[in-house]
Amino acid sequence: MALLNILHYPDARLHTVATPVETFDAALQTQIDNMFETMYEAKGIGLAATQVDYHKRLVVMDISEDHNERRVFINPVIIEKEGETVYEEGCLSVPGIYDKVTRAERVKVRAQDATGAEYELEADGLLAICIQHEIDHLDGKVFVEYLSELKQGRIRTKLKKREKQNM
């Protein structure tokens, strides 16, 4: 397995709309394994393929504390949304930035697993938030884009300043 490079906001590649996965093979499984390794190393709970510059509709997720509930969503589509909740979100592509985002409280998603088998999942709480957040990535949207223009500008400035300090 290999660690992948995570793109950081405002990298334009984060706005690429991912295309459907059509081939379910060993190369896809390697990509899934590498994404899990990258996500765990970065201390994340979800990672969309777009974030690692792989523009296919693939998400890996594990919201458990023990890293023992690996979930794979391939070609995910939210087919039902219900309620509304506000949650303070963060993102591996926007390190160190957290802000409140309004999302559906419950979702029902249709996706495929690593073998191509289709399934449906109903989720609420953190899992529902994470599903919506990661599908946004596949659609070329980063969570900070739910915030005001002023906040987005401040975040870009903060991240650029931090990048310069790390050079």
Per the annotation, does 8 bind a ligand?
Answer: no
To the query of whether residue 134 is one of the catalytic residues in this protein, the response is yes
Q: Which helix (H) or strand (E) holds 98?
A: strand 94-103
55 is in an annotated binding site: no
Nearest to 135 by CA among 46, 68, 71, 54: 46
Ligand-binding annotation for 133, yes or no, is yes
Joined together, the tokens standing for residue 47 give 């990672």
User: Which one is catalytic: 82, 134, 145, 149?
Assistant: 134
Catalytic residue numbers? 134
Annotated binding site for Fe cation: 91, 133, 137
Annotated binding site: 91, 133, 137
